[in-house]
Amino acid sequence: MKKLIIAVAVMGAFAGSMAHAEDAVPEHSFTGNLSVVSDYRFRGVSQTFKQPAVQGGFDYAHSSGFYVGNWNSNVSGNSFTDGSIEMDLYGGYKFTIAPDLTGDVGVLYYYYPGAFNTGTNKKYNTTELYAAGTYKWFTLKYSSTVSDFFATPDSKGSGYLELNAAFEVADKTTLGFHVGQQKVRHNGSLDYTDYKVSLARDFGFATIGLAIIGTDVDGDGPVTSGSGKVKKTAGTTGVLSISKAF
């Protein structure tokens, strides 16, 4: 599920490509990423019971625009019963529409080995199709599930609309903004809006970032652990991160 470090890395890569548009694009490219975050937030909601996460993945891209990749993170069993890891598998196609305007379409599969929802007895595994358009500093993206939405019954066709912006405010320093709205089909009480403001700087050895993330979830989405401890997993919080792309 979509994420501060990857978002910053993609934004930085995009900015770099604009600055060096005259450079030849290699036919094949392989990249990787590794990060540590103080809390893994997916669409504003903590997936780690407000605990740290180690995340990483790799991507392959072809000069034609086709790409595939994998991204992974630890998650909390308090949110995903019998689950401890999220594995994202995705592939798609990026293309130029007009000067400064690019498109991106693809499919993303969220896989949680062994995890299931005790209330519905369904697995959390979810598949989404997505389409995005990027104009200079702004990206508008829509994702729609072709499966149930993370073990929610009768929720096929749920959608997430998001707007992201990234600006280089100083040398190797990126200011980011995000707002998104989640709609869960046939489950309107689960609809909500999330937002994020982030600042990240590339120090060479790593990129260090800070993000303020929140939602309008009623009651801040309390989740109770097995020991009875309650945490507001959708409440506004600050997330620190350190990442490295290679």
pLDDT of residue 226: 63
**What is the reported pLDDT for 229?**
81
Q: Torsion angle, CA of 232/235/236/237, rounded to 10 degrees? A: 30
- The per-residue pLDDT for 107 is 98
* pLDDT for the residue 48: 96
What phi and psi values does residue 18 have, to the nearest 5 degrees? -65, -40
User: How confident is the model at residue 96, as a pLDDT?
Assistant: 97
How far from the centroid of its chain's Cα atoms is residue 210's Cα?
15
> So what's the pLDDT on residue 6?
43
Q: Could you give the CA distance from residue 84 to residue 176 in angstroms, rounded to a whole number?
A: 29
Q: Which segments in the chain show pLDDT lower than 50?
A: 2-22
What pLDDT is stored for residue 146 in this prediction? 98
Fold observed for domain 4-20+28-245: Porin (2.40.160)
| pLDDT per residue as tens digits for the range 172-202 | 999 999 999 999 999 999 999 999 999 999 9
pTM equals 0.88
